[in-house]
Chain A
Amino acid sequence: MASAADRRGPIWPHLRIQLRVVDALLRREMLTRYGRHNIGFLWLFVEPMIFTVGVTILWTATKSVHGSDLPISSFALTGYSSVLLWRNMPGRCIGALQNNLALMYHRNIQVGDIYLARLLIEFGGATISFASLAVLFIAIEWMAPPEDFLKVAAGWLLIAWFGCAVAIGLGALSHLSELVDKLWHPFSYLLFPLSGSAFIVAALPRFAQDIVLWIPTVHGIELVREGFFGSRARATYDLSYLIPFNLVLSLIALIALRYVSRRVVPG
């Protein structure tokens, strides 16, 4: 049975099956979403690139006030890429199980594999888009190379972790109630201006800083910016808040995933 019995024993054979399944799901999802027409799977990162470039142009044209002396283009690139990273993951996972219920007939495929495949696609797309635009902006000297690449990577991964946990949790809960889908759109839209992408914390008045620092993505984006711009970013972040926050969120997400996996009825 696909219950506890055949999951005992060494973990490697199971890991191998799961890797194969996630790989198969990933290719299936990419083919379904991008097909073989025009540029095909290049849309994976061309789409977020268009978004980011659009926002960069918009913010540059309107000379958006962001409260720092950073060039607006590099500010928009770091800010908006991060938004795409954490916001698209839940967007893709909400309702994903409902659309793929028939896959549950294949006993190798677990609910979590469906989410995992989509998260990898979103992470890949957002990361390639961010990296190629960064290289482009550096090449045309709109911005300098990152001062501390590891900090950029750490901040980026922490935002991705947050996105994954939210995505798995909301994805699982969306199978129990359609309210999740309805509420996520306004919620993510409202969270966007507060997420740290459109301001730097140091430029805010004291009371506003205290409020926005409750929002986990703010810490991640500030870390990315410190990696890019060093002290010019005047970053404010607290990893001893963000990491435990992600851990607790992941725990909740996995509980929700387990709850749903045990009750899923294939279509």
Chain B
Amino acid sequence: MIRVRDLAKVYPTRFGENLVFEGVSFDLAMGERLGILGRNGAGKSTLVRLISGAERPTAGTIESSISISWPLAFAGAFQPQLTGADNVRFISRVYDQDFERNLAFVEEFAELGPYLREPVMTYSSGMRARLAFAISMIIEFDCFLIDEISAVGDARFHDRCNFELFDKRGDRAMIIISHDAAYVRDHCNRWGVLHDGGLVLYDDFEVAYADFKELIGWKPPPGWPQIPVATA
């Protein structure tokens, strides 16, 4: 269980303080998948960073009795001069995991072939994404933070990611950020809209999405099918 209470984050800028959000509170239990919608700059990634523990909140608390992953799909932690295998070795050491077993999994999942033993800087962005995702899967976290994973890779990669995440690890807690509303709809069972410095929670995707569209000023183009939206 993760308990978030009255979370606030303020960044200092050269023009004074910028409040990203405040008063964000929610609980997340195992098996719950919270999808967060929000405009660019609404603070989605900031929220994920705070929950991952990489950054400290300005106010509020995050209590967790379960292990939380780093934000998935995030490829930044690779040392570009090192090989993919060396990066697997590093992560295995940091998290005290069996390197040989991890390497075998990454070899199988990422399908990098001989490139697994070449420096990461020679990889294409798709190869990097496959390596990043495979490395994220070798540590069995209780809660996965997923930041825009649908933005990288091809259809086959997406299918394999979805299988690893939602079939093999469907019992875990997840927080998913995406601009792809259908992805969030299909894979989450709770939703939230981050807007104007606050988080509103929903149990129904259609209600969340209707509110979100109104907030971002989305207007149906002419000829758009008018489907009545159930209100909460």
Contact = CB atoms under 8 A, between A and B. Distances in A.
Contacts of B95: 106, 108
Interface string B65-101: 0001011001011110110001001110111100000
Contact of A105 (B52, B61, B64): B52
Contact of A262 (B56, B62, B79, B81): B56
A102 B76 contact: yes
A263 B12 CA distance: 10
Interface residues of A, number: 29
A105 B49 CA distance: 8
A20 B77 contact: no
B54 A104 contact: yes
A20 B94 contact: yes
A265 B94 contact: no
Contact of A28 (B61, B64, B79): B79
Contacts of A23: 93
Given A31-B82, A31-B86, A267-B76, A107 B93 contact: no
A264 interface: yes
Question: Would you call the interface of chain B mostly helix, strand, loop, or mixed?
Answer: mixed
Interface string A87-119: 000000000000001111111110000000000
B70 A28 contact: no
B203 to A, nearest CB: 26
Nearest to A265: B55
B82 A32 contact: yes
Contacts, number: 71
A27 interface: yes
- The A contact surface, by secondary structure, is helix
- Counting chain A CB atoms within 10 Å of each CB, the highest count among B49, B55, B78, B94 belongs to B94
B86 A3 contact: no
Nearest to B2: A1
- Please classify how large the interface on chain B is, using the bins under 10, 10 to 19, 20 to 34, 35 or more: 20 to 34
A124 B49 CA distance: 35
**Which of B76, B77, B78, B86 has its CB near the most chain A CB atoms (within 10 A)?**
B77
Contacts of B71: 105
Nearest to B67: A107
A230 B61 CA distance: 60
Given A21-B94, A24-B94, A105-B70, A266 B79 contact: no
Contacts of B70: 105-107
A51 to B, nearest CB: 24
B77 A105 contact: yes
Contact of B61 (A1, A2, A109, A267): A1
A258 B61 CA distance: 19
Nearest to A103: B77
A35 interface: yes
A28 B86 contact: yes
Contacts of A103: 77
Interface string A29-42: 00110010000000
Given A31-B82, A105-B49, A266-B55, 5 more contacts: A101-B76, A104-B55, A105-B70, A105-B77, A107-B53
Report, nearest first, the 10 A-B pairs whose CB atoms are least far apart: A24-B93, A102-B76, A2-B53, A105-B70, A107-B53, A102-B77, A266-B54, A105-B54, A1-B62, A24-B94
10 contacts: A5-B63, A20-B93, A27-B89, A31-B82, A102-B76, A106-B77, A107-B53, A108-B95, A264-B55, A266-B54
